Structure 1
Amino acid sequence: MPAGFRRLYKQSFTDIEKAAKAWQRLSEKARDGLSQHRKQVTGPLHKQGWKGEAADSGFYFMENIELRLSIVQIEAQAIARVLDTTKWRMEQAQTDLRNAVKTAEDNHYRVDDDGWVSAPASTDSIPRNDPDGQATLNVESSMLGEYRQWIQQALDDARTASDEGKRALSRLLGDILRDTNPAAMAETVRDIRASMGDLGIQDPQVPDDPKEAKEWWDALSREEREEMIALYPDIIGRTDGLPASVRNEANHLSLDQQLDIAQNDNTIDKSHSTDDYNQALNNLQKLKDRLDQSDGAPRGKELYLLKFDGFGDGKAVIAMGNPDTAAHTAVLVPGTDTTMDSVPGQVERISRLQNEALKRSNGESVSTIFWLDYDAPEKNLSVASDDRAQDAADDLRKFTGGVRAAQGDNRSHLTVIGHSYGSTTVGAAAAGGKGIGADDVIFVGSPGTTVANAGDLNMDRSHVWAGASHNDPIVNWASGLTLGTNPAEHVYGANVIEVGNGGHSSYFHDNTPGLYNQARIIVGQQPTSAEPWGPEYDPIMEVVPGL
C-alpha cells in the first residue's frame, strides 16, 4: 500500500504558512532596524567627523551590528522562500493525490483509507471465461494501474518536495553569526545560492527594457518585492527603471556582500583573479566610506546608490536626492581618468550643482546624479578614439530611459551634462537610437561630441548648451581632432553659455559663471550667454554640406 497516503491526503499546511510569514516579518524587522541604525546612529557619527582610536573601535563594533542585521534580513527571507516553495509543491502533490482519488471513485473504483485502489465492485461477478467480460476486465485492470501510479506519483512528489525543502533549510543555519566568523556575509551568499539551487529556483528574469522592468516590479506583491531585494540584490540594484529607493537598498546589501567576498571568500566567482579582487576590495571600500558619510543626511541630500562595480577602475552611479520625485533632475557624465578614486570629488560636484540649482528652483526639489557606468579613458586616450563613448552610449540611453520610467507620471525636467570625454559619451548616446530623452543637454570642457552639429542629437537644438573656457587645455588641444567639432563653436549650432576663464575643472567650482549657468539650465531658466568660438554658424551648412 502507498506509504504516507493518509497523512498527505489530510495534511494541513497552515503551520508552514504561519512559519513562512513569521520569518518574513523577522526579515522586515531586521531591515527596518538596519535602516534606523544607519540613519540615527552611525550616520550622525560619520557626519560629525568622529575620529581616533575610540572612533575606529566604535565604528567597527557598530558596523558589525549592521552587517549582522543584513544577514538576518537575507537569511530570514531565504527561509521564508524555502518554506513557501516547499508548501506550494506539497500542496500541488496533495491536489494531485485528491484528484486521483476523486477520479477513481467517480469511475466506481474503490480507494481504501490506506490509498489502495481496487477494481469496481461490478467486476467481481464477471465470469472469467466470458470473452466480453474478459475485455471489460482488461480495461478495468489498465485503469486500475493508472490510478495506482497516479497516487504513487503524487506521494513521490510530496516526498521529493519535503526532502529538498529539508536540505535547503539545513544550509541556512544561524551559526554563521558566530563571533569568530569574519566571512559571515560571504557564507550567506554561498548558502543562499546553494539553498535556491536545491529547490531549482532560478534567478528572476527581469525585463531588460526599463519600462517593462517597471511594469514587472509594479506587478509584484509587497512580500515578493522584499524577497527580490534580499535574495537578489545584485540583479535588482542594477536594473534601470526600478525605484531609486529600491535600487539603493539592494545595492547597499550587494555592496556589503561584495566587500566580504573580496576580503574573505573570493572563490565564489572564479572568473576573477586574486589581484582583481584586491583591486575590487580597494574600490569598494572607498565607495562604502563615501556612502557612510552621507548616512543620516538631511532630506534632499541623501545619496542613492543606483549601480556599482568594483572591478577594474570601478564604476558607480550615485544620485543626490531622489530622482523619482524631484521636479528637476540632472545627470553628470564625467570624463577622462575618472575612476572609483574620483567618487568623493564627483559627489562634491553634483552637490555643488544641486546647491546652486536649489537657490534658483523656487522651492522645487532637485536631484543630481553622477553617472560613471562606463570605462572612462585614460589621459593618453582621451583624444584618440570615440570607442569608449560609443560602447557606453546604449547604457546611458537605457539609464535615462530608466529615470523616466521610474518617475512615471512625475516627469521631471531632465538635464544631461557631459564634462570632458563625458561630453563625447553624451553626444554618442544622444545621436544614437531615439536619443537620451533629455529636456536639455550641456557640454562643458568638451573635446568633441562625435557629431558635427547640434542638429544630430535627436532633440531641439535650442536646448543644447555648450561652455568652453579659453584656458581649458582639453578644448584648446583636443577639439576638432578625432572626437568631433568643439560644441562651443559657431558651426556646431548650440547655445554657448558663459563659463569664465578657469581650467578644465573650473566649470564646477563655487562662485563661477559656469556653475551658475549650469544650475540655471537644470531648473529651466535662461543662462547668461557668451560669444561662440570660431566663424559664425550658418544653418545652410546643414542642408548643403561642404559650404
Structure 2
Amino acid sequence: MVSYEGINNARPKTWATAADEWHALAKYSLDAAKDLREYGAKPLKDNWTDEVGATAAAEFAKLADQLEAAYDILLSVNMVADGMTTTIETAHSTMRAAVDLATQYGLEIGVDGTVTGPPPRSRTEAEEMGPYRAQVQDLVDQAVEQVTAADRLAAAEFAELAGQTGLTDPGKALNDLQTHASHVQMQMLANDIPVDEDPTTVRQWWNGLTDRQRKDMMLAQPVALANLDGIPADVRRELRGNGKYDRVKVVEYALANWDKGDPTDFGNNCTNFVSNALLHAGMKEKTSIWGTSDDDSWMIGNRTGVDGVDKRLAYSDSWAAAENNQNFMLEHGGSEVPRSDVKPGDII
C-alpha cells in the first residue's frame, strides 16, 4: 500500500513530464513508420520487382508495422502515466482538504496518516471530537486508497506493455493494448471518486478539488458523480442537462449496450444506436399521421422483426441515417458546439 507520507512526497509534475515524453516518442515512431513505407517499402516494390527486391520491401514493411505498433504501445504508456498524474494531483487536493479540516478542528495528521488531537478533558468533549476526527481520517484514507489502487493498476499495465515491445501487428496494438490502457486510465479516474463514503466526506472531497479537477471529473465520470450523494445538486443538474433528454442516461445506455445488438440491425448501426440512446434518455419521438415516411418525423413505427422490411418501413429516415439525423436535430432545437465545449451525452 502507498503511504500517506509517500503521497505527500509524490511529484505529479514528474509524471506529467514523463507522459509528455512518451507522447513525443510515439509521434516519432509513427513518423518513422510512414517514412519507411513511403521511402523504403513503396519504392522497392515499384522499382525492384525480383525476389531480392520483394524480400527487402517486405522487411521494410515489417519494420514499419513494428514502429506503428510501437506508436500505439507508447500512447498506451502515455495514457497510464497521465492517469497517475491525475490521481496524484487529485490525492494532493484531497489531502489539502483534510489538513484544512484538521486545522479547523484543532487536530493533527501524523506522517503515517493517523489523525490525532489534544487529550479530551471530558467524555462529552471526546464524543464531540469523534465525528470530526472521523471526517478528517476519511479524507486521508480516501487519498491513500485512490493512489494505492492507481499504483497497482499502473504497475500491472506497464509490465504488460513492456512485454509487447516486439509486437509487429498494429491492429493488435491499437485494438487490444491501447484499448485496454484507456480502460485502465478511466478506472484510475473512477477510483478517485469516494463512492463508498458518507455524503459529508463526498462533499468535502469535492470542495477540495480545483476547478479544473472538477471539470475533468465531470467529463470523465458523469454517471458516478450524478448518482453520488454529497455532490452538489447544481453539479448533478448540470451533468444531466436541462434539454430534451438526460445526458447521464445517454452515457449509461452507451456503457450498458455498446456491445449488444439492437432490435433492428442496420449494418452500419451508429445512428440507430444514438437514436436508441436518446429515446432511453427521455427524448420524445416526433410522430406524424404519415408515419415514418414523413421527412419531419423521428420515430419508430410498427416493426415486423424482419430487418430487410423494418429498415425500409419501420423507422423514419432521421432515426438511422446520420445526415438526416443531424439535420433533424439542428432543425428542432439542437445546436452545434465547438469541440472544446463537448460534454458527455452530446452527439458527435
Aligned length: 207
Q: Distance in 1 between matches of 2:187 and 2:156?
A: 14
Deviation at 1:172, TM superposition (A): 0.9
Tell me the equivalent position of 2:7: 8
Deviation at 1:395, TM superposition (A): 5.1
Could you give the per-residue CA deviations for residues 407-452 of structure 1, whole angstroms, max 9, x where no partner exists?
x9xxxxxxxxxxxxxxxxxxxxxxxxxxxxxxxxxxxxxxxxxxxx
Tell me the equivalent position of 1:198: 184
Tell me the equivalent position of 2:60: 62
Change in Cα spacing, 1:23 to 1:127, as seen in structure 2 (3 Å) is closer
Task: Among all aligned residue pairs of Structure 1 and Structure 2, give the percentage whose two residues are the same amino acid.
Answer: 15
Tell me the equivalent position of 2:94: 96
Q: 2:160 aligns with which of 171, 192, 202?
A: 171
- Checking the alignment, whether the CA contact within 8 Å between 1:97 and 1:155 is kept in structure 2 is no
Could you give the per-residue CA deviations for residues 352-389 of structure 1, whole angstroms, max 9, x where no partner exists?
xxxxxxxxxxxxxxxxxxxxxxxxxxxxxxxxxx96xx
2:186 is paired with a residue whose SS is coil
- Checking the alignment, whether the CA contact within 8 Å between 1:68 and 1:177 is kept in structure 2 is yes
Q: Which amino acid aligns with 1:19?
A: A
Tell me the equivalent position of 1:543: none
Q: Distance in 1 between matches of 2:134 and 2:324?
A: 61
**What runs of 5+ residues in structure 1 fail to find an aligned partner?**
129-133, 203-268, 272-308, 310-385, 401-407, 409-547
Change in Cα spacing, 1:156 to 1:197, as seen in structure 2 (3 Å) is same
Tell me the equivalent position of 1:25: 24
Could you give the per-residue CA deviations for residues 13-42 of structure 1, whole angstroms, max 9, x where no partner exists?
233222212211110111221222333333
Tell me the equivalent position of 2:321: 394
Change in Cα spacing, 1:54 to 1:396, as seen in structure 2 (3 Å) is farther
Which structure is higher in helix share? 2
Q: Distance in 2 between matches of 1:30 and 1:54?
A: 27
Change in Cα spacing, 1:28 to 1:398, as seen in structure 2 (3 Å) is farther
Q: Distance in 1 between matches of 2:322 and 2:111?
A: 63
Q: 1:83 aligns with which of 81, 84, 101?
A: 81
Q: Distance in 1 between matches of 2:2 and 2:154?
A: 19
TM-score w.r.t. length of structure 1: 0.33
- Checking the alignment, whether the CA contact within 8 Å between 2:76 and 2:177 is kept in structure 1 is no
Q: Distance in 2 between matches of 1:173 and 1:32?
A: 21
Bigger radius of gyration: 1
Q: Distance in 2 between matches of 1:44 and 1:175?
A: 30
2:137 is paired with a residue whose SS is helix
Q: Distance in 1 between matches of 2:128 and 2:136?
A: 13
2:58 is paired with a residue whose SS is helix
1:147 is paired with a residue whose SS is helix
RMSD: 3.8
Which structure is higher in strand share? 1
Change in Cα spacing, 1:53 to 1:91, as seen in structure 2 (3 Å) is same
Change in Cα spacing, 1:42 to 1:114, as seen in structure 2 (3 Å) is same
- Checking the alignment, whether the CA contact within 8 Å between 1:67 and 1:185 is kept in structure 2 is no
Tell me the equivalent position of 2:39: 40
Change in Cα spacing, 1:127 to 1:61, as seen in structure 2 (3 Å) is closer
Tell me the equivalent position of 1:279: none
Q: Distance in 2 between matches of 1:22 and 1:71?
A: 17
Tell me the equivalent position of 2:110: 112
Tell me the equivalent position of 1:139: 128
Tell me the equivalent position of 1:264: none
Q: 2:147 aligns with which of 152, 158, 172?
A: 158
Q: Distance in 1 between matches of 2:67 and 2:73?
A: 10
Q: Which amino acid aligns with 2:91?
A: A
TM-score w.r.t. length of structure 2: 0.50
- Checking the alignment, whether the CA contact within 8 Å between 1:171 and 1:195 is kept in structure 2 is no
Q: Distance in 2 between matches of 1:35 and 1:172?
A: 23
Q: How does 1:277-288 map to 2 (within 5 A)?
A: none
